[in-house]
Amino acid sequence: MRPLTIDLDRLAAAFVCEQGDFRLDLLSGRILDIPPAGTDPQIEQLLEEEPERLLAVDCLAQADILALMAEFLPEVEQPAAYTALQAALDSRKPLRSFHNALNQFPGVRAAWQAFEAERLRELALDWLAENQLELRL
């Protein structure tokens, strides 16, 4: 495995990007948000001259995000919050509904944010291992 100094929280956040093209620079360890063509000549040059240096970070699919949300439900101890979040996940627009329901329960929202951050860090570490990279501390 190749050790690399990486901002693990930034990498984890790239997994839940709604839009964007994130790449891990295998030389510097930076997470790059690739802008639209014509915006950043340096990044365009890097993409053209050394494409193997930038490893694409794929966003989680909606089903994976919903699975994380469902995994969080057993952690919710407030019956009203549990019911609201379960109903949100069963709704027509579960992602938006889940976040709207969280806004009604600030303590549960904080617990979700901590849970999500931890799970995303775990996913980022797994992704690094799959790509034969090791986080250098």
* pLDDT by 10s per residue, the chain, length 137: 778 899 999 999 999 987 789 999 999 999 999 988 888 888 899 989 999 999 999 999 999 999 999 999 999 999 999 999 999 999 999 999 999 999 999 999 999 999 999 999 999 999 999 999 999 86
| DSSP single-letter state for residue 105 | -
Output the pLDDT for position 136: 85
Total structural domains within the chain? 2
pTM: 0.88
Residues 54 and 71 in one domain: no
Range of the domain at 37: 2-60+125-135
Residues 8 and 29 in one domain: yes
Distance CA(82)–CA(67), nearest Å, equals 15
Residues 66 and 118 in one domain: yes
Output the pLDDT for position 36: 85
Output the pLDDT for position 122: 96
Residues 116 and 67 in one domain: yes
